[in-house]
Structure 1
Amino acid sequence: MSKEKNYVKRTQRDYSMSLKLQIVHEIERGELSTHGACKKYGVQARSTVVSWLRKFGNFDWETQTPSQMAKTPEQQIMELEAKVTLLEKQKAHLEQQVNFTDKKAIIFDMLIDIAEKEYNIDIRKNSSPEQLSYLKKNKNKP
């Protein structure tokens, strides 16, 4: 049995601006090739990625040098909006990770308390006398 891939015609509107910019940045940083970007992100044609590089990249395709041409205000706004969206997604993901880590720390702390009671041993690290005197000294300060 051979699986046939159904061809779905896609347009530029099928790809978000943040995705386009992310692909361009990854290629320009040398993390991906144009073919690699097509495979990784499911872009059907390499020419699509190349057109994004020409539109949004920092490379002058005429002279093969990095471009110093100023971008139009519309391009700058679109890039900044895409970056904001990407940063908001990253922030939400990091907040989720922090929440998970906090819960994990609470659970581990509870497990240590249970183990200390159950086995009647001190699991937590005991402080050295120098640390104890330092802690007592700072605890008494108002």
Structure 2
Amino acid sequence: MEQFNNQYVKRSQKDYSLSFKLAVVGEVESGSIGNRAAMRKYGIQGHGTITEWRRKYGNFDIDNHSQSKSMQTPEQKIQELQEKIKRLERQNGFLENRLTESEDKALILDKLIDLAEEEYLIKVRKNFSPDQSNLSAKKTKKR
């Protein structure tokens, strides 16, 4: 631990050969190793280095973090679209449930306000008449 006191290790930028980059990209895209594992295995320092190499030299679509669409077989495209449909259907169901819950909550709160107004004889809701909104707009326009 004493050897680290007041010592700074400066990382140097490494230049990798094209053949090395292609070998790493090929290994990652074959699926035998992931980006992080390749970083550890080959001592690559930058987190985005391999991703950048894959974008430049491989079949990697940076936006979707997947193989380029042009390299997929029709069966792979169909499978991907079916998975997307399932994901969107699940998301749609979830959002429909949330909408139903929100509508139910709004009805319950509306009834609660009605009960409070009847029980305590107070006006909880604000009246928004067109005259009031026009008056407030005129007040702000005066100089």
The normalised TM-score by structure 2 is 0.46
Higher Rg: 2
Q: TM-score, normalised by structure 1?
A: 0.46
